[in-house]
């Protein structure tokens, strides 16, 4: 057995952050938006518009601070193509958060300045270490933190523009077993990266009823340089066969994964003084993810490429909110998220499929300055069968997958 075969499937997830995030991609950067079906591009400016559409910030009436978090409780089940036994993930709860500060010099000023810190991607998926897919995945832990300084400028009374710089810090830890003559090898990969992207938007309040928005978030190449790979070889026999040493073996690797650009358009309409409806459409350019390339420092002859061949995807979001009381707003919404993963290219850390999300939410004002937002999102993916295409190396696992998530969300707001 060559070392190449040992490393092949492990390297597939060395920077799997983006592929996993797409598999469970839910916009958790604003609790109000979560409550109304993740609609936020063309309706309802607040501090979290810093993420959804920075062009809307200069329509805020005052300086604002918002902090919130959204506990993610996800569930994945798997069974083989011919079998009936199901294997289920036992992942811990994830806790994405968001924090925004927006400064308005005055209500009449055309300027707004903001800073956001949020975690659009990040979760942990774990299976029992002896499950049938242990040679593909035992545990993967992902974290990403975005820091976005932003500026917005209002042009006249109806239109504003905005832009932000994304400073992206990401990390991944991955563990699996590798089969070898005479036993299994436990392996672990760790990598970190720091990259940059940008976000621009335009917002228009055409009249008292109708608003429009457009937002563009750039793509970025997520690069891991000098990542650490560790292999625990249990005995001298396996070490001799693989040309390694008994015990801990280490190596370094570099890899690059392109993340897609996203274009979003949105519209909001006030049906009455109390009822408003809103719609967003997001187009995600995942076709840039054609393959995953990995280069090893010590074992350069074993450089590999995994086929991905993803396709562009889209998300349709619909939401409504109603002013039930002077200090209470209630919300509801839904969205449909198409998968970029083609048939045969699913992996245990990203068992992606077309997704339906259902949401509810509310905001309660306590006095003139303080408000509490709450929301709940149920996310369910279609059951999907995966059969690896003949002659294609994907690092995938044949079988039938089903995934879902329940996500409550809460945020605190303060207006100066």
378 has pLDDT over 60: yes
What is the average pLDDT across 310-319? 95
Q: Is residue 80 very low, low, confident or very high in pLDDT (cuts 50, 70, 90)?
A: confident
105 has pLDDT over 80: yes
| pLDDT at 230 (0 to 100) | 84
> With 0-12 CB in 10 A as exposed, 13-18 as middle and 19+ as buried, what is 248?
exposed
| pLDDT at 36 (0 to 100) | 97
| pLDDT at 11 (0 to 100) | 38
Mean pLDDT (the chain, rounded): 85
What is the average pLDDT across 211-223? 91
d(CA 194, CA 118): 15
280 has pLDDT over 90: yes
In this structure, of 76-85, 89-98, 289-298, the range with the lowest mean pLDDT score is 89-98
Buried b or exposed e, range 170-209, using 16+ CB within 10 angstroms? bbbebbbbbebeeebbbbbbbbebeeebebbbbbbbeeee
What is the average pLDDT across 55-68? 96
124 has pLDDT over 80: no
| pLDDT at 277 (0 to 100) | 98
In this structure, of 55-59, 227-231, 383-387, the range with the lowest mean pLDDT score is 227-231
22 has pLDDT over 70: no
| pLDDT at 67 (0 to 100) | 97
Which domains does the chain possess? Answer: 3-415 (2.40.160.60)
- Percent share of the chain, pLDDT over 70: 88
1 has pLDDT over 60: no
31 has pLDDT over 50: yes
| pLDDT at 19 (0 to 100) | 34
23 has pLDDT over 60: no
| pLDDT at 17 (0 to 100) | 34
Q: Is residue 207 very low, low, confident or very high in pLDDT (cuts 50, 70, 90)?
A: very high
| pLDDT at 91 (0 to 100) | 66
d(CA 404, CA 319): 21
On whether the CB atoms of residues 165 and 56 are closer than 8 A, the answer is: no
Q: Is residue 21 very low, low, confident or very high in pLDDT (cuts 50, 70, 90)?
A: very low
Q: How far is CA 251 from CA 228, 248, 370, in A?
A: 6, 10, 52
What is the average pLDDT across 159-188? 85
- Percent share of the chain, pLDDT over 90: 50
Q: Is residue 122 very low, low, confident or very high in pLDDT (cuts 50, 70, 90)?
A: low
| pLDDT at 400 (0 to 100) | 92
CA 249, distance to chain mean position in Å, is 32
Tell me the pLDDT tens digit for each residue of 328-372. 999 999 999 999 999 998 876 667 899 999 999 999 999 999 999
- Per-residue tokens: 343: 């048939």
d(CA 241, CA 36): 58
181 has pLDDT over 90: no
| pLDDT at 6 (0 to 100) | 39
What is the average pLDDT across 249-275? 91
| pLDDT at 12 (0 to 100) | 36
| pLDDT at 299 (0 to 100) | 62
What is the average pLDDT across 109-117? 97
| pLDDT at 304 (0 to 100) | 65
- Per-residue tokens: 399: 């079988």
| pLDDT at 266 (0 to 100) | 98
- Per-residue tokens: 344: 């045969």
Q: Is residue 188 very low, low, confident or very high in pLDDT (cuts 50, 70, 90)?
A: confident
Encode the chain in three state secondary structure.
Answer: CCHHHHHHHHHCCCCCHHHHHHHCCCCCCCHHHHHCCCCCCCCCCCCCHHHHCHHHHHHCCCCEEEEEECCEEEEEEEECCCCCCCEECCCCCECCEEEEEEECCCCCCCEEEEEEEECCCCCEEECCCCCCCCCCCCEEEEEEEEEEEEEEEEECCCEEEEEEEEEEEEEEEEEEEEEECCEEEEEEEEEEEEEEEEEEEEEEECCCCEEEEEEEECCEEEEEEEEEEEEEECCHHHHHHHCCCCEEEEEEEEEEEEECCEEEEEEEEECCCCEEEEEEEEEECHHHCCEEEEEECCCHHHCEEEECCCCCEEEEEEEEEEEEECCEEEEEEEEEECCCCCCCCCECCECCCCEEEEEEEEEEEECCCEEEEEEEEEEEECCEEECCCCCCCCCCCCEEEEEEEEEEEEEEEEEC
- According to the per-residue pLDDT averaged within each range, which of 46-50, 106-110, 124-128 is highest? 46-50
Under 8 Å CB-to-CB from 307, ≥6 apart: which residues? 290, 291, 345, 392, 393, 394
On whether the CB atoms of residues 209 and 258 are closer than 8 A, the answer is: no
What is the average pLDDT across 53-80? 92
Q: Output 281 or 305, whichever has higher pLDDT.
A: 281
């Amino acid at each position: 057995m060559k070392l190449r075969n040992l490393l092949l499937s492990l390297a597939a997830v060395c920077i799997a952050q983006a592929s996993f995030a797409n598999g469970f991609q839910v916009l958790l950067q604003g609790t109000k938006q979560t409550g109304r079906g993740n609609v936020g591009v063309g309706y309802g400016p607040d501090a979290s518009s810093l993420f959804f559409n920075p062009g809307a910030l200069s329509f805020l009436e005052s300086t604002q601070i918002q902090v919130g978090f959204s506990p993610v409780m996800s569930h994945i089940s798997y069974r083989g193509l011919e079998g009936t036994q199901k294997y289920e993930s036992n992942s811990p709860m994830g806790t994405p958060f968001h924090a925004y500060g927006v400064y308005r010099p005055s209500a009449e000023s055309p300027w707004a300045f903001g800073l956001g810190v949020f975690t659009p991607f990040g979760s942990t998926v774990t299976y029992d270490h002896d499950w049938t897919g242990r040679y593909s995945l035992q545990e993967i832990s992902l974290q990403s933190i975005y820091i976005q300084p932003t500026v917005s400028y209002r042009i006249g009374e109806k239109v504003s523009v905005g832009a932000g710089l994304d400073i992206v810090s990401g990390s991944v830890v991955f563990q699996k077993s590798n089969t070898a003559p005479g036993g299994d090898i436990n392996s672990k990969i760790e990598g970190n990266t720091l990259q940059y992207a940008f976000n621009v938007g335009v917002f228009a309040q055409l009249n008292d009823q109708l608003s429009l928005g457009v937002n563009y978030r750039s793509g970025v190449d997520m690069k891991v340089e000098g990542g650490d790979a560790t292999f625990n070889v249990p005995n001298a026999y396996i070490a001799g066969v693989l040309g390694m040493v008994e015990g801990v073996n280490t190596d370094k690797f570099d890899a690059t994964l392109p993340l897609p650009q996203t274009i979003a358009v949105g519209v909001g309409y006030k049906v009455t003084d109390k009822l408003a409806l809103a719609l967003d459409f997001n187009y995600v350019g995942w076709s840039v993810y054609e393959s995953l390339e990995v280069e090893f420092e010590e074992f350069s002859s074993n450089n590999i490429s995994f086929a991905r061949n993803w396709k562009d995807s889209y998300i349709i979001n619909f939401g409504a909110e109603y002013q039930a009381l002077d200090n209470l707003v209630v919300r509801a919404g839904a969205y449909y998220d198409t998968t970029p993963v083609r048939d045969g290219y699913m992996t245990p850390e990203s068992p992606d499929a077309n997704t339906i999300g259902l949401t509810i939410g509310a905001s309660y004002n306590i006095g003139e300055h303080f408000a509490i937002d709450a929301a709940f999102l149920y996310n369910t993916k279609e059951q999907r069968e995966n059969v690896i295409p003949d002659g294609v190396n994907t690092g995938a696992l044949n079988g039938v997958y089903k995934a879902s998530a329940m996500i409550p969300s809460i945020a605190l707001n303060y207006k100066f």
